[in-house]
Structure 1
Amino acid sequence: MSDRLDELERRIDELRAGVRRAVRARDGAAARTLRAELRTAERAWDTLVSGPDDKPGDTRGQKARGSRLVTVREQVHQALALLGAPAQARLVVAVSGAFQAGTIRSSQLTSLRRDEERSFRSSPFGRPYYLCAALTDRLSPARGYLAVSTWPVERRVVGPLSPRVDFLTCAIRIAEHAGSGGRTAEGDRLLARIARNIPGAGDQVPPDPARVAEAARRELAVHAGRDADDRAELAGRADAQLDDVARLFGATTLATVPRSVTAMRGGR
């Protein structure tokens, strides 16, 4: 069923973009046809997620059904918004499941960024946000590293220290969320795994969110300044060298590599 849902979600996004284009072009006939197709696709999606096994008073079924009503794309966006930094797909899935009753699987994220890029190319800036790539020092997409298009370029580029800085940033946000009333058993297990990779975070089970956040902030203070400088340099190159598509989804050719190497060597 998940494959069919993903197919319908992509079709719904395409139809919505088509409606917007038709409206902008003042093509009323095309807009009406596309809206009718959109309503049909949305009804098919509703039917697929409703399921025949609903029973009165089944709160677990209602909760799961409610999470399915949120698209994979929206669940990923919610998880990234909580984390506040680019993150690997497995962490996005873990955070979504631990704190947001998410139903996404890592396999579903494989084609998500490609779908987002196709949508952006067909209707640039037609959505409030896009799930995009973090950019390496070659301005190419970082494999498996997801970001949000509305974040500034400085937050979406990845310098030498950025993976550690992003990990610590995510740790702080997860600990703060857990400490402010968002604790769950699954969230505690995730926070315990994170704490093992932060000196001074402790080894309590369940972990102390305040202690984890404090330890992460101490280490983050050591790296943040250098990382900010590296990211500013990379962001400057991205703005100067890349078009709108590549600035979100990364350079698709090696054309930027010689310029990137030259820039890192001080122009020599």
Structure 2
Amino acid sequence: MSESLDALERRIAELRAEVRRAVSARENSLARSLRGDLRRAEQAWDEAITAEEPSRPLQEPETSLLPIREQVHQALALLGVPAAAKLVVAVNEAFFSRALRGPQLTSLRRDEERSFRSAPYARPYYLCAALTDRLSPARGLLADSTWEPERRVLGPLSPRVDFLLSTMRVAEHLTRLAEPSAGALRLLSRMAHNIPGAVEGLVPADPETAIRAAGAELEVHLAADAAQRAEVAARAAGQLSDVERLFGAAAMSTVMSTVTSSVRMSTMRGAC
């Protein structure tokens, strides 16, 4: 191992401890700054270890006969949570050995929305948007229309909760494989390095260890996140049309709807 890797691993361990202390002390600004430093250090570690890997002939993923939307649907089914194109592509390659590129997903959600508008519910599923707490589409995140609403909306804690859940799903899938691919093990290791206690040093992540570590952190956030998501889902059900519940509302229309609702409530209270 090079000195730079040793130094980066020490720095990562120190930053994780500092983040925990800042969070415990409720020093939110410091915690955010430290998390940024931690992400940069982890990225530098990932780049450094990749540079040290012995060169080997690259095996091209096979071209799939499945349509792109079905490949994406399978990756989302494995992850179980809204996901960015980069993660969908990584899961598709690691577990299904298929070639899928990020740019192929760029217009996918727009195509799905057009299809839904022209013939609502004609398909068994749609690749839709995750919705923010403003009920607008979350940038770059794809979801499955068959998921319950609470899984397709996001609260402040949801990005971290979904990352932990997706890591657990990847690890659980690995435990069911007799001979996991090297790509699948690398994917889990990259994800596990962002979870305290999920992996140590340069060894590949152990799926059972990753599941336990992710589950332990998940217990801290899950109840609060579930309550936040339930509130967002309830607003979406009451304020949005069918197409908006899947693909999101324009930001301004959501704001106007909220303002109108507030004005109506104030008027009713005044009348009483």
Counterpart in the other structure of 1:244:
242
Alpha-carbon distance between aligned partners in 1 of 2:87 and 2:101, rounded to the nearest angstrom: 11
Among candidates 180, 184, 199, match of residue 183 of structure 1: 180
Alpha-carbon distance between aligned partners in 2 of 1:168 and 1:218, rounded to the nearest angstrom: 10
The alignment-based identity, stated in percent, is: 60
Among candidates 152, 156, 167, match of residue 152 of structure 2: 156
Alpha-carbon deviation of 1:258? 4.5
Q: Is the 8 A contact 2:135 2:251 kept in 1?
A: no
Q: How many residues align?
A: 204
Counterpart in the other structure of 2:203:
205
SS at match of 2:211: helix
Counterpart in the other structure of 2:255:
257
SS at match of 1:232: helix
SS at match of 2:129: strand
Alpha-carbon distance between aligned partners in 1 of 2:138 and 2:243, rounded to the nearest angstrom: 15
Q: Is the 8 A contact 1:138 1:260 kept in 2?
A: no
| CA separation of 1:127 and 1:90: change in aligned 2, threshold 3 A | same
| CA separation of 1:185 and 1:244: change in aligned 2, threshold 3 A | same
Alpha-carbon distance between aligned partners in 1 of 2:235 and 2:226, rounded to the nearest angstrom: 14
Alpha-carbon deviation of 1:260? 4.6
Matches within 5 A, 1:93-132: 93-132=89-128
Q: Is the 8 A contact 1:168 1:217 kept in 2?
A: yes
Alpha-carbon distance between aligned partners in 1 of 2:195 and 2:253, rounded to the nearest angstrom: 38
Alpha-carbon distance between aligned partners in 2 of 1:105 and 1:149, rounded to the nearest angstrom: 22
Alpha-carbon deviation of 1:235? 0.2
Deviations 1:169-212 (A, max 9, x none): 00000001112116210011111111110001022522101000
Counterpart in the other structure of 1:74:
70
Alpha-carbon deviation of 1:64? 2.2
Gaps (5+ residues) in structure 2? 1-58, 267-272
SS at match of 2:141: strand
| CA separation of 1:261 and 1:172: change in aligned 2, threshold 3 A | farther
Alpha-carbon deviation of 1:252? 2.4
Alpha-carbon distance between aligned partners in 2 of 1:222 and 1:176, rounded to the nearest angstrom: 20
Decide which moves more: 121-130 or 201-210: 201-210
SS at match of 2:138: strand
Alpha-carbon distance between aligned partners in 1 of 2:216 and 2:188, rounded to the nearest angstrom: 17
Among candidates 108, 133, 144, match of residue 140 of structure 2: 144
Counterpart in the other structure of 2:220:
222
| CA separation of 1:262 and 1:184: change in aligned 2, threshold 3 A | farther
1:193 corresponds to 2:174: no
Q: Is the 8 A contact 2:131 2:154 kept in 1?
A: yes
Alpha-carbon distance between aligned partners in 1 of 2:261 and 2:229, rounded to the nearest angstrom: 14
1:134 corresponds to 2:134: no
Q: TM-score, normalised by structure 1?
A: 0.72
Matches within 5 A, 1:22-41: none
Alpha-carbon deviation of 1:123? 0.6
Q: Is the 8 A contact 1:177 1:183 kept in 2?
A: no
Q: TM-score, normalised by structure 2?
A: 0.71
Alpha-carbon distance between aligned partners in 2 of 1:92 and 1:218, rounded to the nearest angstrom: 25
Gaps (5+ residues) in structure 1? 1-59
Alpha-carbon distance between aligned partners in 2 of 1:107 and 1:72, rounded to the nearest angstrom: 11
Alpha-carbon deviation of 1:259? 4.6
Deviations 1:131-173 (A, max 9, x none): 0000001100001011000001100001000000000000000
Q: Is the 8 A contact 1:137 1:260 kept in 2?
A: no
